[in-house]
Chains A and B, each alone.
Chain A
């Protein structure tokens, strides 16, 4: 059930803006998953891969990102990445 609003932005463009179920993000102090209703949170991210889940079990996308930071607020999750490439 996609209900978390997720945005991935790089300096060059807005890469993703969609509703998803869950996103797993490589935070600087460890990976974390964001679901709907996550508490407001902000962290620096380390270079790695984010995984986008459209439901609890299906991964719909993996994107390699190169540092930046993630912000969770009541509107959803926003990742500001320096660079991002889709992983097949």
Chain B
């Protein structure tokens, strides 16, 4: 049986832990709201870009002269797996879920005899992936200094990815991140970003009344659009990831706060019992002493 004093110390320590987790939960909730707003604000651009891409892609024939970003390198031997995780931990299973999805894909690809390399955004996936797939991490983007993801951050990553693609480092790039469904549900998602998959237009394409004029021409515009599309996909993923991270952290901290509450209750009961036991023993001793006289 733990002594009264040590019980008391434990209760105080759990209480202060609870204060921290509670504060972290509040912070995550506030950040979540902001991240969600950012994700929503980014939607119109992505939607319009998708629409434009779709209408352009219908006009341009994919042939050997098409930009590589669209047509691919003609092989799918070398894969680059881009894993977007968070920079901080204590977010429940957020990072491990993403890493698990990426790992599954990598295992399948390696079993198929493909080359697999990793490109990390955020540092939390590094330890696990480095242990499982040593020497396969080509680069890690450090985002610790970034508070709110800006488009320029995504653009930088996209430029690097495209430069590596053009240098012939890989054939196909897949992106892993957590899609934000709700504060409670985040879905680890896989998305191919290079070569660019042309989005399918939902429903029927409205017939263009007059032939649209293009300046300079369709191919040039498309070539201009493709890198931008990679950037915007990345940006979207990063925004979704940020929202997911906060949602996941909010949950984890909520659970932690509740657990701490349960623990405090248990410890308090134990404390009270042992206090009573001590008093009873003392009384018995006094009475026994008095009777002995």
> Which has the most chain A C-beta neighbours within 10 Å: B45, B151, B208, B231?
B45
Check A42 against B212 for contact (C-beta < 8 Å): yes
* A39 within 8 A of partner (CB): yes
Task: Identify whether the interface residues of A are mostly helix, strand, loop, or mixed.
Answer: strand
* A59 within 8 A of partner (CB): no
Chain A interface extent, by class: 20 to 34
Check B215 against A40 for contact (C-beta < 8 Å): no
Contact of A39 (CB < 8 Å), options: B49, B52, B210, B228: B210
Given contacts A11-B232, A71-B52, A80-B48, contact A40 B151 (CB under 8 A): no
Interface string of A14-52 (1 = CB under 8 A from B): 100000000000011100000000011111100000000
Residues of A within 8 A of B210 (CB): 39-40
Check B151 against A83 for contact (C-beta < 8 Å): yes
Residues of A within 8 A of B46 (CB): 11
Residues of B within 8 A of A83 (CB): 151-152
Residues of A within 8 A of B235 (CB): 11
Given contacts A11-B45, A11-B235, A13-B41, contact A80 B213 (CB under 8 A): no
Residues of A within 8 A of B213 (CB): 39-42
Given contacts A11-B42, A69-B224, A83-B151, contact A40 B208 (CB under 8 A): yes
Contact of A80 (CB < 8 Å), options: B41, B45, B211: B45
Given contacts A40-B210, A41-B212, contact A14 B44 (CB under 8 A): yes
A 53-88 contacts with B by CB, 8 A: 68-69, 71, 73-74, 78, 80, 82-83
CA–CA, A74 and B208, complex, Å: 9
CA–CA, A12 and B46, complex, Å: 10
In the complex, which residue of chain A has the Cβ closest to the Cβ of B221?
A44
Check A43 against B232 for contact (C-beta < 8 Å): no
Chain B interface extent, by class: 20 to 34
CA–CA, A37 and B209, complex, Å: 13
B 10-55 contacts with A by CB, 8 A: 38, 41-42, 44-46, 48-49, 52
Residues of B within 8 A of A28 (CB): 215-216
Given contacts A71-B52, A82-B151, contact A40 B228 (CB under 8 A): no
Check A12 against B150 for contact (C-beta < 8 Å): yes
> Can you identify 15 A-B contacts, CB atoms within 8 angstroms?
A9-B44, A9-B48, A10-B45, A11-B151, A12-B151, A14-B41, A39-B210, A40-B208, A40-B209, A42-B52, A43-B214, A43-B216, A44-B220, A82-B151, A83-B152
